[in-house]
A and B are shown apart, each in its own frame.
Chain A
Amino acid sequence: MSKYDESSTGSQLTYAAGYILSLALTITAFLLVRKHVDSHHLFPTDNFMLAALSALAIIQLFVQLIFFMHLDRESKPRWNNLALGLAAIVVFILVGGSIWIMSNLGYHHSGYGTTHDGHHLTSPSQETQYIIQDEGVHQ
């Protein structure tokens, strides 16, 4: 009776599967953080947590794109997927680039900053000198 193509919307089953998978991924992330906080940041380690949380979020992104938004069922030509791919590239450059550049400029922060080998700089002129050397700027 439906005027719409069933194949592009999925069924109760796909939505339920997406819901349960998302819930499982969310609960895993929360349990990991709870364990991490309870162990006073010792186990699992900080780096492991960052990697695991990022991975869980990205898996959940795909779960929801496929089970809730049915991106895998788009018929050709796949314009929606193309737009999504383009957005993903922009997001990657925007977020990745910002973090990269700003952490590279990290020695501007906290007082007059620190050198790569951990010496604290004590004056603005010292800092300027260090940055000129470090960045290879010629005056």
Chain B
Amino acid sequence: MSTQERQAAESKTLFGFWVYLMTDCVLFASLFATFAVLRFNTNGGPTGEDLFNLSFVFKETFILLTSSFACGLGILAARQGNKRLCLSMFGLTFALGLAFLGLELHEFNKLYNDGDSWRRSGFLSAFFTLVGTHGAHITAGLIWMGTMMLRVVQQGLTTNNIKRLTMLSLFWHFLDIVWIFIFTVVYLMGLVL
């Protein structure tokens, strides 16, 4: 294959991945719509204002945003052929993603143990579904990232690996954007109204 053909094939793959991200966007939109409709249906249970802690959410947001930034620097290093920098940046992204997931699971666990699980009210069902789906995506992203780092260690920064890292970084930035809307709509607006 000539360079031109390879680049054309690669841009097709990236476009295909982009279309997947857009359908994922529609999935999240339907969960956001559900949440928006059910958010006042607390059935006498706790509201967002009773449950959410502003500084805790800020911590989560800060960690995820920083991991998105590290991921960007990682893909930049990959394209410059700097394997060590690439691995350390994706390592940082992975660690921050893991920390984020830990905080989210900690919050879920606390809610569940306090009796505020998804069974408590429509509001909490919608909350757990929306935030949990985001958490499941983060988990999938972490598994993917771990696999990719292993491949880069073994095979180096091959054209194929760089292509996959590019898709991974798009996925990770996408999850950060979804989180912007989760913290705004679920947590911040939950504390306002």
Interface residues of A (CB under 8 A from B): 1-4, 6, 9-12, 15-16, 18-19, 22-23, 26, 29-30, 33-34, 36-37, 41, 46, 49-50, 53-54, 56-57, 60-61, 64-65, 68-69, 79-80, 83-84, 86-87, 90-91, 94-95, 97-99, 102, 109
Contact = CB atoms under 8 A, between A and B. Distances in A.
B79 A36 contact: no
Interface residues of B, number: 48
Interface in B164-193: 170, 173-174, 176-177, 180-181, 183-185, 188-189, 191-193
Interface stretch (B32-40, B91-99, B136-144): B32-40
Main secondary structure of the interface of B (DSSP, over half): helix
Nearest to B38: A102
Contact of B19 (A6, A30, A83): A83
B193 A46 contact: yes
Q: Give the top 5 A-B pairs by smallest Cβ distance, nearest first.
A: A98-B33, A87-B22, A91-B29, A57-B184, A19-B69
Contacts of B159: 3
A57 B177 CA distance: 9
Nearest to A98: B33
